[in-house]
Amino acid sequence: MSDLIHDLVNDRIQTLHREAAEQRLALHVSRVERARREVKKANDRLRKALSQQI
């Protein structure tokens, strides 16, 4: 029985590690998406400013 409990505990630990890694990845993806939106906005502002100079 002790081996079963040990296996269950190890499985749970692995699951928690995997979930934590997935959360870190999701956070990274959301930061990249936000940065892309900010770059797009900056490019749009720059394009507008340059077109007004002409």
What the block records as the tokens of 2 is: 């002790």
Three-state secondary structure readout of 35-46 = HHHHHHHHHHHH
Q: Mean pLDDT per 10-residue run, the chain (54 residues)?
A: 92 98 98 98 97 86
Q: What is the pTM of this model?
A: 0.70
In angstroms, rounded to a whole number, what is the distance separating the alpha carbons of residues 2 and 6? 6
In angstroms, rounded to a whole number, what is the distance separating the alpha carbons of residues 26 and 9? 26
Expressed as residue numbers, the domain containing 46 is 1-54
pLDDT of residue 37: 98
pLDDT of residue 23: 98
Q: Give the chain's domain count.
A: 1
